[in-house]
């Protein structure tokens, strides 16, 4: 046990609570949110825990306000977070865009439930995966991570903050109702055992305010995709930031050249560091003829069918996308050249499946395994798809199998 | 200096030489981003005056109240007024439409040293941002909101908005506005603002004094500035009608003249009575101005801080419990995947019983467990269900595939869950609450104890779940007795610890007996 209100050691912890504890351990001291199932427990935990570590919890009037409040908090120097689910995620899209445009570090946890609209408030879905990528208008790159257990929800919340701070951008943790509402062992390390990254920042007096560029194009090396130091409010830089297309000073610059500069800057700072951001878990890929590509709860429930299929002599590999965005294109393209098929189980109509198809580009078959929210995938569904991909015959299965979409 | 001269002076400079602008041209230049000038506002627009009075107030505060202007943040939304953030040389944030107030809320809550001022238009603050406005007022957060009201959406060409007078004309109300406007001071006051004022830009000096006061006020302060929109609103309404459309400056002046005719100073007017009065054509015929409300009231950030001490005490208590947890060696025998279904009704502690099993397994037996519970409609209306999987290996599939044992404490739960049990599974019931029907499954190993009765006899009916847990631990054996006891001790309120442990032990002994 550590003092200063930090929880450490081994706990039997609800997934949503694990997200909150991860945030607190990495230094999050501001949470703004709005109640929504199944993300509410994150807010509840934060409301109890943040005051214990001199942090601020506030329930805002809606998700638009929540997202904006965490941006304001970040510009005042705090590591900040919000958490929501489908309908609230939609409302947050507006100011997620502002966060990206202003280059504001912060973390948004989406505990996905079935949609669209009010959908299935208490039941699982993985239907926001494309919204995570493209949900706010305009061109940008986003970082999104996808945990498969409460422990990983804890770990990835920490990583999300580190990536947010490093790249000065909002980072999404795309979890789901199943993981969020699941209680399992969560091991919380001592604070000094985890990596904590803080934003590049100028403090009062570091730079002559007149020479300070809040969106300096390149660092001294002139490397593209570098992240320029941020100033925070109250340090004497008297900077300006805007959601308009802007120049290095943060001033509105409404023309095509500035737009090109501005958007490329937002996109490149992530693209240039793809290899560092992308995290995958791989099993048995060397000899694989079939690869199950999945993420979150669906990756986890694919483990048993994969073991089963290997017992049946099918050479199946497992590729779990811990980072969903940016998408691990390079790896999929590479694998597509030497395997027979990808099987993509997910609790939606086939969203990440589209990305796998794009990268496979006809070189390998792509089979989606889908369930449309409300419950996790049946192991049997995934097993059948693997058999089918391998050209094996399949025993008659449950009617759920009929929902399988062949692509 | 006339605006046209400023333009001449400032054209052709590169942004690189920011400091060039601070040449003492005008005392206010230090607070203007000269390199951003000329501004985009129309001639005759009231926004220039709004900005000047704001700067005047800030400079006064710097000089007379020792304000460090480095600590002032200006936050704007979208619209003509929203551009103020881009012209003022302070930390300034030009956010999204309507969202300046929540952004400001984040700034202020994190750093209470900051003086945070929101300046935006009527459409931004009272239209798209109306919800944020009333809630910030309700919290009495220590920020200042300045709303420049020109009765329409100027930047997009003069559409009706939440403050357009009834009967007035706009590009989207060519037959006269059929909606009724907000009385903004009343809205702010009703929301909970502790400082509320209004001035037209004509009363520039009084406006400046009020802005000083508003910014010094501790709590949510709101100042409405009535200002001409020479291009859009004035075009369609009394103040500017019949004037040459090319002469915007002149139109603005006409509006100011009109303010002089209709404006009336009325400090302490009840905000309810501060509605702007119009005739049937929507032409303004009375604007009451002044400071309507200025009352001391506990400020929000202070209220939050106040709770910190209680929170910390709670943490110390929780930490003590955590520190007292036993360190058990864990088990090293093989544990097969055990799936446990728990069912009963609300209040029996079905959720906590499942959680206690899972916690015992992971923390004290050091094997794996995954606990899930029924949420939503299913979990309401009396029925309660929870599931826990215990295994020696990582649990990939978190749900019960074929429950190997069940703890059932109501007839309803019996009906619902027993059919799912795997053949040869173990069913444990509170036989005081569950009656086995004639067609009860014979392929199950069924055992019962009157758990509720046992608990009642021990003095607390709510310990019935503990008796069932003891019974389950003895019969199923997937989790050790010691682990279960410790997990139980972690989970129940200290006052009921003894009775719960007793109930557990009674249940456990009964289980051992049954197995003999
Ligand atoms: S449109 Fe109206 S409010 Fe906007 S700058 Fe012009 S006169 Fe001012």
Burial of residue A261 (CB within 10 Å: 0-12, 13-18, 19+) is middle
Taking residues A111-134, report their average pLDDT.
Answer: 96
Looking at the fold, whether A169 and A294 belong to one and the same domain comes out as no
**Is A202 part of any domain?**
no
Q: Domain check: are A188 and A289 in the same one?
A: no
Please state, in angstroms and rounded to a whole number, the distance separating the CA atoms of residues B91 and B114.
Answer: 10
A179 and A324 fall within a common domain:
no
Q: Do B96 and A301 touch (CB under 8 A)?
A: no
Q: Which residue's CA is minimally distant from atom 8 of ligand 1? A: B45
| Strand, helix or coil for residue B492 | coil
Where does a domain end: A134, A159, A193?
A193
Q: What is the 3-state secondary structure (H, E, C) of A80-132?
A: EEEEECHHHHHHHHHHHHHHHHHCCCEEEEEEEEECCCCCEEEEECCCCHHHH
Q: Does residue A4 sit within a domain?
A: no
Q: Which of A297, A95, A230 is nearest to A82 (CA)?
A: A95
pLDDT of residue A137: 97
Distance CA B303, CA B272 (A): 28
Determine the Cα–Cα distance for residues B266 and B275; give it in Å rounded to an integer.
12
CB contact under 8 A, A48 and B314: yes
Q: How far is the CA of B229 from the centre of ligand 1 (A)?
A: 5
Which two structure tokens, joined as six digits, stand for A180? Answer: 């969020």
Please answer yes or no on whether A243 and B96 come within 8 Å at the CB atom: yes
Quick check: A184 and B369 CB within 8 A? yes
How many CA atoms lie less than 13 Å away from A335 in the CB half-sphere? 29
Of the candidates A173, A193, A213, which is a domain's last residue? A193
Name the minimum distance, in Å, from the CA of B107 to any CA of chain A. Answer: 5
> Is position A236 within any domain?
no
- Give pLDDT, residue B9: 34
Interface of A with B in 203-232 (CB under 8 A): 210, 231
H-assigned helices in A303-392: 303-311, 329-336, 352-360, 379-389
Q: Where in chain B is the domain with CATH 3.40.920.10?
A: 332-515
Among B13, B92, B109, the residue to mutate for chain A (most A Cβ within 10 A): B109
Pocket of ligand 1 (CB under 6 A): B 41-42, 45, 47, 80, 150, 154-155, 229-232
The residue range of the domain holding A368 is 281-406
Beta carbons of A182 and B372 less than 8 Å apart = yes
Instruction: Write out the two tokens for A251.
Output: 């001033």
Please indicate, yes or no, whether residues A35 and A182 belong to a single structural domain of this protein. Answer: yes
CA distance A305 to B67: 67
- Parallel, antiparallel, or unpaired: how do β-strands B72-76 and B115-121 relate? parallel
Q: How far is CA B433 from CA B250, B344, B348, in A?
A: 87, 10, 12
Option in B18, B363, B369 nearest A10 (CB): B363
B85 in contact with A at a CB cutoff of 8 Å? yes
What does the pLDDT read at residue B24?
A: 53
pLDDT at residue number B430: 97
Are residues B90 and A304, on separate chains, in Cβ contact within 8 Å? no
Distance B36 CA to ligand 1 centre (A): 17
Continuous segment of H or E residues that includes residue B109: helix B100-110
A75 touches chain B (CB under 8 A): yes
Facing residue for B107 by CB, picked from A65, A76, A304 = A76
Contacts of B416 (CB under 8 A, 6+ apart): B343, B383, B385
**Residue B233 CB partners (closer than 8 Å, separation 6+):** B150, B151, B152, B154, B158, B168, B170, B240
Distance B20 CA to ligand 1 centre (A): 29
In degrees and rounded to multiples of 5, residue B188 shows phi and psi of -65, -45
Q: What residue ranges of chain B are covered by domains with CATH 3.40.50.970? A: 37-302
| Same-domain status, A294 and A150 | no
> If you measure from the C-alpha of residue B42 to the centroid of ligand 1, how many angstroms do you get, rounded to a whole number?
5
B250 C-alpha to ligand 1 centroid (Å) = 14
Computed from CA positions of residues A227, A231, A237, A243, in that sequence, does the dihedral angle turn out positive or negative? positive
Q: Considering the domain B37-302, what is its CATH architecture? A: 3-Layer(aba) Sandwich (3.40)
Task: Return residues 342-361 of A near B (CB < 8 Å).
Answer: none
B115: distance to nearest CA of chain A, Å?
9
Ligand 1 atom with the shortest distance to the CA of B154? 1
Structure tokens at A253: 């610059």
Separation between Cα atoms, residue A342 and residue A363, nearest integer Å: 10
User: Which residues, 6+ apart, have CB-to-CB distance to B84 below 8 Å?
Assistant: B47, B50, B51, B54, B74, B76, B119
Map residue B75 onto helix, strand or coil.
strand
* Residue B359 contacts A, CB cutoff 8 Å: yes
Element (H, E) at B383: strand B383-391
Cα angle B340, B344, B348; round to 5: 105
Final residue of a domain: which of A141, A162, A193? Answer: A193
Residue A287 belongs to some domain of the structure: yes
Confidence category of residue A397, pLDDT binned at 50, 70, 90: very low
Best residue for ligand 1 mutational test, from B121, B161, B232 (most atoms within 8 Å of Cβ): B232
User: Would you say domain B332-515 falls under CATH 3.40.920.10?
Assistant: yes
Sign for the CA dihedral angle at A175, A179, A183, A189 comes to: negative
Q: How far is the CA of A59 from the centre of ligand 1 (A)?
A: 36
- For the record, the structure tokens of B61 come out as 């505060």
Domain count, chain A: 2
Residue B112 alpha carbon to ligand 1 centre in Å:
34
Is A19 within 8 Å of A42 (Cβ atoms)?
yes
Flag whether residue A77 sits within 8 Å of chain B, measured between CB atoms. Answer: yes
Query: Is B320's Cβ below 8 Å from some Cβ in A?
Result: no
pLDDT tens-digit map of A224-242? 667 889 999 999 999 999 9
**Residue A60: which CATH number?**
3.40.50.970
Q: Looking at beta carbons, which pairs linking B428-432 to residues 24 or more positions away fall under 8 Å?
A: B428/B468, B428/B471, B428/B472, B428/B475, B430/B344, B430/B464, B430/B468
CB-nearest to A241 from B71, B93, B101 is B93
Q: Indicate if A185 and A289 belong to the same structural domain.
A: no
**Which pLDDT band, with edges at 50, 70 and 90, does A402 fall under?**
very low
**Closest Cα to residue B233, out of B246, B250, B251?**
B251
- Please indicate, yes or no, whether residues A42 and A189 belong to a single structural domain of this protein: yes
> Does the ipTM exceed 0.90?
yes
Q: Which residues contact A183 (CB under 8 A, 6 or more apart)?
A: A12, A13, A14, A15, A150, B355, B358, B370, B371, B372
Distance from C-alpha of A293 to C-alpha of A386, rounded to nearest angstrom: 11
User: Could you read off the pLDDT of A168-210 as tens digits, one per residue?
Assistant: 999 999 999 999 999 999 999 999 999 999 999 999 989 898 8
pLDDT at A340: 97
Closest by Cα among A275, A349, A273, A356 to A319: A356
The residue among B114, B285, B260 whose CA lies nearest residue B200 is B260
B399 and A376: CB-CB below 8 Å?
yes
Residue of A156, A175, A165, A168 lying closest to A279 (CA atoms)? A156
User: Which phi and psi angles does B338 have, rounded to 5°?
Assistant: -115, 125
Regions of chain B with pLDDT less than 50: 1-20, 240, 377
B contact residues 449-508, partner A, Cβ 8 Å cutoff: none
One domain, residues A306 and A180: no
Q: Could you tell me the pLDDT band of residue A123, with boundaries at 50, 70 and 90?
A: very high
């Amino acid at each position: 046990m550590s003092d200063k209100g930090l929880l450490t050691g081994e706990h039997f912890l609800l997934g949503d609570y694990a997200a909150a504890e991860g945030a607190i351990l990495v230094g999050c001291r501001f949470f703004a949110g709005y109640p929504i199932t199944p993300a509410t427990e994150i807010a509840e935990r934060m409301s109890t825990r943040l005051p214990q570590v001199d942090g601020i919890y506030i329930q805002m009037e809606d998700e638009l306000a929540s997202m904006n409040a965490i941006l304001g908090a970040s510009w005042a120097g705090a590591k900040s977070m919000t958490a929501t689910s489908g309908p609230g995620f939609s409302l947050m899209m507006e100011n997620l865009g502002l966060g990206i445009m202003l280059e504001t570090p912060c973390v948004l946890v989406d505990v996905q439930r079935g949609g669209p609209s009010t959908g299935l408030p208490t039941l699982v879905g993985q239907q926001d995966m494309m919204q995570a990528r493209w949900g706010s208008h305009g061109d940008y790159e986003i970082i999104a991570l996808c945990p498969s257990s409460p422990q990983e929800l804890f770990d990835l919340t920490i990583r999300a903050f580190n990536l947010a701070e490093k790249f000065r951008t909002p980072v999404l943790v795309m979890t789901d109702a199943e993981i969020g509402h699941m209680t399992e062992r969560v091991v919380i390390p001592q604070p000094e055992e985890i990596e904590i990254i803080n934003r590049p920042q100028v403090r009062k007096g570091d730079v002559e305010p007149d020479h300070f560029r809040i969106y300096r194009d390149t660092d001294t090396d002139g490397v593209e995709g570098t992240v320029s130091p941020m100033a925070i409010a109250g340090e004497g830089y008297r900077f300006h930031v805007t959601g308009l297309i802007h120049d290095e000073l943060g001033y509105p610059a409404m023309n095509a050249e500035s737009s090109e500069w501005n958007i490329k800057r937002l996109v490149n700072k992530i693209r240039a560091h793809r290899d560092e951001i992308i995290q995958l878990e791989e099993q048995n890929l060397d000899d694989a003829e079939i690869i199950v590509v999945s993420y979150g709860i669906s990756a986890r429930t694919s483990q048993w069918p994969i073991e089963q299929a290997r017992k049946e002599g099918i050479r199946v590999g497992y590729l779990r996308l811990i980072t969903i965005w940016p998408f691990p294109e390079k790896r999929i393209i590479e694998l597509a050249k030497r395997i027979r098929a990808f099987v993509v189980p997910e609790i939606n109509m086939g969203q990440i499946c589209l990305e796998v198809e794009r990268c496979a580009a006809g070189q390998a078959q792509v089979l989606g395994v889908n369930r449309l929210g409300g419950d996790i995938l049946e192991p049997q569904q995934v097993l059948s798809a693997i058999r089918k991909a391998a050209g094996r015959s399949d025993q008659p299965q449950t009617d759920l199998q009929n929902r399988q979409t062949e692509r | 200096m006339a605006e046209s001269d400023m333009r001449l002076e400032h054209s052709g400079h590169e942004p690189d030489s920011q400091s060039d602008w601070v040449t003492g041209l005008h005392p206010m230049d230090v607070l203007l981003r000269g390199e951003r000038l000329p501004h985009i506002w129309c001639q005759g627009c009231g926004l220039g005056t709004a900005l000047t009075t704001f700067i005047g107030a800030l400079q006064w505060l710097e000089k007379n109240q020792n304000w460090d202007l480095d600590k002032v943040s200006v936050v704007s939304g979208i619209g003509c007024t929203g551009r103020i953030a881009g012209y003022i040389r302070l930390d300034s944030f030009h956010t999204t439409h309507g969202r300046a107030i929540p952004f400001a809320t984040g700034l202020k809550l994190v750093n209470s040293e900051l003086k945070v001022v929101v300046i935006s238009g009527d459409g931004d603050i009272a239209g798209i941002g109306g919800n944020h406005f009333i809630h910030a007022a309700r919290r009495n957060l220590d920020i200042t909101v300045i709303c420049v009201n020109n009765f329409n959406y100027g930047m997009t060409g003069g559409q009706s908005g939440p403050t357009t007078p009834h009967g007035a004309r706009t590009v989207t109300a060519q037959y006269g506005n059929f909606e009724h406007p907000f009385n903004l001071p009343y809205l702010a006051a009703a929301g909970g603002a502790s400082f509320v004022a209004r001035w037209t830009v004509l009363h520039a000096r009084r406006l400046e004094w009020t802005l000083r006061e508003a910014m010094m006020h501790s709590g949510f302060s709101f100042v409405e500035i009535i200002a001409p929109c020479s291009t859009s609103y004035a075009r369609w309404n009394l103040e500017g009608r019949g004037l040459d459309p090319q002469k915007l400056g002149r139109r603005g002046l006409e509006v100011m003249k009109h303010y002089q005719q209709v404006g009336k100073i009325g400090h302490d007017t009840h905000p309810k009575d501060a509605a702007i009065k119009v005739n049937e054509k929507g032409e303004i015929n009375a604007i009451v101005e002044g400071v309507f409300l200025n009352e001391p009231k506990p400020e929000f950030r202070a209220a939050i801080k106040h709770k910190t001490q209680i929170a910390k005490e709670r943490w110390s208590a929780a930490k003590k419990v955590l520190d007292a947890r036993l360190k058990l060696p864990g088990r090293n025998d093989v544990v097969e995947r055990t799936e446990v279904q728990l069912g009963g009704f609300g209040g029996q502690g079905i959720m906590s019983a499942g959680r206690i099993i899972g916690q015992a397994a992971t923390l004290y037996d050091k094997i794996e467990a995954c606990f899930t519970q029924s949420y939503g409609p299913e979990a309401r209306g009396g029925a309660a269900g929870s599931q826990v999987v215990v295994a020696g290996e990582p649990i990939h599939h978190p749900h019960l595939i074929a429950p190997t044992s069940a703890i059932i404490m109501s007839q309803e739960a019996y009906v619902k869950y027993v059919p799912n049990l795997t053949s040869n599974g173990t069913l444990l019931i509170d036989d005081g609450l569950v009656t086995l029907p004639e067609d009860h499954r014979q392929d199950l190993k069924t055992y019962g104890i009157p758990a509720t009765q046992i608990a009642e006899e021990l003095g607390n009916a709510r310990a019935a779940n503990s008796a069932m847990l003891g019974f389950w631990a003895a019969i199923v054996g997937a989790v050790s007795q010691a682990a279960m006891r410790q997990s139980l001790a972690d989970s129940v309120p200290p006052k009921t610890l003894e009775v719960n442990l007793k109930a557990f032990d009674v249940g456990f002994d009964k289980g051992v007996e049954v197995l003999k």
